[in-house]
A and B are shown apart, each in its own frame.
Chain A
Amino acid sequence: MKSTEDRLREALKTVGDTMGSEDVPPMRSPVSRRSGLARPAVLASACAVVLVLIGGLVVGGLVVGGKTLTGNGGGAASSPPEDKHVAVYLCTKTSSNASCGHAEATDAQKANIKERLANIRQVRQVAYESKLQAYERVKKAFSDKKHWETVKPGDIPEAFRVQVSNDGVKLVQQAVIGLPGVDTVIVEDKPRA
């Protein structure tokens, strides 16, 4: 019969040893405070990378002033300056949004979302963009960037690209945020590339 001390020692060692030196990350830069994000979100971080890429695209469009990036925007170029562009990203298997339930948006959900969007008076145009189209579009914009190679078709979720007058942005957000099949809704400051 082992003593309590020995059993305790053994149990603690076993638990402690489930963590090895390969689990020790490099020290976080003391300047940046903790992210507050949940940890085991490998899939979520993949999603985040994609969103950052897309965000970079938006910001890039802002910085470059639309000189190079917005030149090839089909249809967007002719929009009145007060129009806003809203991207309604649809659920994918890798989405970190809990309400997506790790499933792709179904055709019925997409039809419902599209109908809701089309019913808003301020919405001028709703365009569906498939994963492949999104991939091609972003690839064009990032053709000179090295990081691009790690992104594959399908990494960027499908979306509805909505062109809406300035006073209708809130309505679009209210209409689709939380609908089944909707992952995130992003209001873009500048027309997309």
Chain B
Amino acid sequence: MAEATNEAGRRLWDMETETVFDEPPPREAPMDASGAVTELYRGHALGLMRLALVMIGDRGTAEDVVQDAFAGLYRRWPRLRDRENALTYVRSAVLNGSRTALRRRRRPFRAVHQPPVWSAESEAMVGEDRREVVEALHRLPARQREALVLRYFCDLSEEEIADAMRVSRGTVKSTTSRALASLGRILEGEK
């Protein structure tokens, strides 16, 4: 039975093999809000949805967070100071939105949400070892988790991570190395 579901899962991943993360931004940024925001959405929605998925775990909420982030960008567009950095703005919005979504879940009497895609109950089969890693990642403090995801999933430079998290480069460095160390410890402890 596990064989069959694994097979199905693999086929699901094969459909989309390359991670479209940071595609080159549109050649010359159109100046009107809807055109520019739509362009940005076309190039980056998938990457950002994956980012939100990794942070939150359920697809529906990830989609909501990304849509809200783009809606926010659209509202802010006329007052945005450097439109070159619109992507950084949405990325931060997605990170903040994910953090809010996770925090809301901890309150009692909230709507039932789907099990995270990496859990054993989920239909998307992720595999035992990977599940262990992601679960360990989610035991880290939020800032540490964000730093690791931006570094090892989005492959951002220290500078970009610093911008997205609104901290200094030094903080990014120390947070990342501390996070990696505790992640290693958690994984060791489970052996």
Contacts from A to B (Cβ < 8 Å): 4-5, 7-25, 27-28, 30, 33-34, 38-40
Query: A11, B15: Cβ atoms under 8 Å?
Result: no
Given A8-B183, A34-B68, check contact A18 B53 (CB 8 Å): yes
Query: A15, B19: Cβ atoms under 8 Å?
Result: no
Query: B53, A11: Cβ atoms under 8 Å?
Result: no
Complex contacts, B51 vs chain A, CB 8 Å: 16
* Distance, CA A10 to CA B134, complexed state (A): 10
Complex contacts, B15 vs chain A, CB 8 Å: 20, 22
Given A16-B54, A20-B16, check contact A30 B63 (CB 8 Å): no
Query: A11, B74: Cβ atoms under 8 Å?
Result: no
Pick from B16, B49, B111, B180: contact of A38, CB below 8 A.
Answer: B111
Query: A15, B68: Cβ atoms under 8 Å?
Result: no
Complex contacts, B63 vs chain A, CB 8 Å: 23, 25, 39
* Distance, CA A24 to CA B134, complexed state (A): 23
Given A7-B133, A8-B137, A19-B49, check contact A14 B70 (CB 8 Å): no
Given A24-B45, A24-B46, check contact A15 B127 (CB 8 Å): no
Binds A, one of B24-32, B147-155, B166-174: B147-155
* Distance, CA A129 to CA B177, complexed state (A): 68
* Distance, CA A96 to CA B126, complexed state (A): 30
Q: 6 pairs across A/B with beta carbons < 8 Å?
A: A7-B130, A14-B13, A15-B126, A16-B50, A19-B50, A19-B62
Complex contacts, A24 vs chain B, CB 8 Å: 45-46, 49
Contacts from B to A (Cβ < 8 Å): 9, 12-13, 15-17, 19-20, 34, 37-38, 41, 45-46, 49-51, 53-54, 59-64, 67-68, 70-71, 74-75, 111, 114, 117-118, 124, 126-127, 129-131, 133-134, 137, 148-149, 152-153, 180, 183-184, 187
* Distance, CA A40 to CA B123, complexed state (A): 14
* Distance, CA A47 to CA B4, complexed state (A): 33
14 extra interface residue pairs, beta carbon distance < 8 Å, beyond A11-B131, A15-B130, A16-B153: A5-B152, A7-B133, A11-B129, A11-B134, A15-B134, A16-B19, A16-B53, A18-B124, A19-B46, A22-B15, A22-B16, A24-B46, A27-B45, A34-B68
Top 7 A-B residue pairs of the complex, sorted by shortest distance between their CB atoms: A39-B60, A20-B16, A11-B133, A16-B50, A11-B130, A30-B74, A12-B153
Pick from A16, A18, A28: contact of B71, CB below 8 A.
Answer: A28
* Distance, CA A19 to CA B54, complexed state (A): 10
Minimum Cβ distance to chain B for residue A146 (Å) = 29
What total count of A-B pairs have CB within 8 Å? 117
Pick from A14, A34, A38: contact of B130, CB below 8 A.
Answer: A14
Complex contacts, B19 vs chain A, CB 8 Å: 13, 16-17
Instruction: Tell me the dominant secondary structure on chain B's binding face.
Output: helix
Complex contacts, B12 vs chain A, CB 8 Å: 18, 20
Complex contacts, A28 vs chain B, CB 8 Å: 67, 70-71
Query: A27, B16: Cβ atoms under 8 Å?
Result: no
* Distance, CA A27 to CA B45, complexed state (A): 9
Minimum Cβ distance to chain A for residue B131 (Å) = 8
Minimum Cβ distance to chain B for residue A45 (Å) = 13
Query: B50, A21: Cβ atoms under 8 Å?
Result: no
Query: B187, A23: Cβ atoms under 8 Å?
Result: no
Query: A30, B75: Cβ atoms under 8 Å?
Result: yes
* Distance, CA A47 to CA B68, complexed state (A): 26
Complex contacts, A30 vs chain B, CB 8 Å: 34, 37, 70-71, 74-75
